[in-house]
Amino acid sequence: MEIILHVGMGKTGTSSIQIALGRNAARLIEQGVDYLGLWFDGVDERFAGFSGQGAFFRSPPDEMRQHARSLVSTLRQRQEGNGCSRFILSNESMYSKAAALEPFVDELRQHATVRVIAYVRNPREWLPSAYTQWALYHKAGPGPVKPYPTVAAKLVRAYAAIETWAKLPSDVLTLREFHKRGNVVEDFTGLLGIGLDQPAARMLERTDIGETVLRGLYNNRLPESVLPLRFDQAFSGISFASVPTLAGFLETALCYDATEELVESQRHTFDFIRERFGIDLLAAEAAPPRIPPPEDIRNRLIDHILHLVLNQADRIRSLETSVRRLQAARRPADTGAKVADARSA
């Protein structure tokens, strides 16, 4: 039996790997590989899900060894059922819990062949990406959004976990460098000698700076920690990925560079007008208007947005006042109806 622990680190393509493994579960079983998912419910049902993994990681060393034996027992039962002898558990939270997992991994090695696979990334890329994920998209702590240097000073310490994982023998631990332009799914499956249908694109890749700023500003207003789902629910039905860029719209709608080519395509008609009616529409040189600088347009759009917001504020206040009046007018009637109901009862 072989147990493969894919431990992260986060922001190194872990979601792409997990999604690819999940989508190829049946194909993996045909290759003798059983993907266990992210959670530790194979140890005990109480460790299922995000909330359960915290309890798992807090287990003392003796319990961790028992957890390992429980997992091995579960995997033997699965092996009897599906014939698989290789099992993959992928959870990036394991990366930072190297010390807590030492007895767990050590006990697993007494009963099975164990491989631990981790990826690391250039900190100059990883730190901004991790900050965006865990300070803006998911505000992990209370209070306003913390400045990048404050959060990144803690995040950079994550690399130190490698020193603990490195205590494992070289035939157990595989450390790979993550490259943003590479294909981490191909790299991972190549390490294990398995075939998967590759995802068309990376998962959870953050590319829209506008959405990132919006999420940060939204979370900054809230005193508690904020999961990404809260923003998603507040703006349900709005696809930020489909929002056109100002530059793209200007290029599409307000760029007149093709004018001369279009005029030439109909020159025979303009020649006819000149020859028949004596009107030479092309006699005078004329250039189509140029697009104003995008910054000027953006500033003017902000003027319009402010005008709209201020007017909307007045309309909302008027609506709130009307609603309060309606609610106040209904209260005596509601009270009287309740009294009448009570008397009739």
Contact 204, 138 (CB under 8 A): no
Interval 41-67 mean pLDDT:
95
pLDDT of amino acid 63: 97
Q: Which of the two residues, 226 and 339, has the higher pLDDT score?
A: 226
DSSP summary character for residue 256: -
Q: Characterize 75-103 residue by residue with b for buried, 16 or more Cβ atoms within 10 angstroms of its Cβ, and e for exposed.
A: beeebeeeebebbbbbbbbbbbbbebbbb
On whether the CB atoms of residues 41 and 48 are closer than 8 A, the answer is: yes
Q: Give the confidence band of 122 by pLDDT, cuts at 50, 70, 90.
A: very high
In whole angstroms, give the CA distance from residue 50 to residue 59: 15
Q: Where are the beta strands (DSSP E) in 139-193?
A: 173-178
Q: Residue 145: is its pLDDT beyond 70?
A: yes
Q: Look at residue 172 in the predicted model and tell me its pLDDT.
A: 97
Residue 290 — very low, low, confident or very high, per pLDDT cuts 50/70/90? confident
**What gap in Å lies between CA 61 and CA 239, rounded to an integer?**
46
Q: What's the mean per-residue pLDDT of the chain?
A: 89
Angle at 255 between CA 252 and CA 260, to 5 degrees: 125
Give the pLDDT confidence score for residue 27 in this predicted structure: 95
Distance CA 185, CA 197 (A): 10
| Contact call for residues 71 and 84 (beta carbons, < 8 A) | no
* pLDDT at 333 exceeding the cut of 60: no
pLDDT for 248 beyond 90: no
CA torsion angle for 237, 242, 248, 251 (degrees, to 10)? -80
Mean pLDDT (whole number) for 159-179: 94
Mean pLDDT computed over 39-68: 95
pLDDT at 204 over 60: no
Residue 111's pLDDT is 97
The answer to whether residue 299 scores a pLDDT higher than 80 is yes
Residue 271 predicted with pLDDT over 90: yes
Residue 17, pLDDT > 70, answer: yes
Mean pLDDT of 243-248: 80
Q: Report pLDDT for 332.
A: 64
Tell me if residue 294 falls in helix, strand or coil: helix
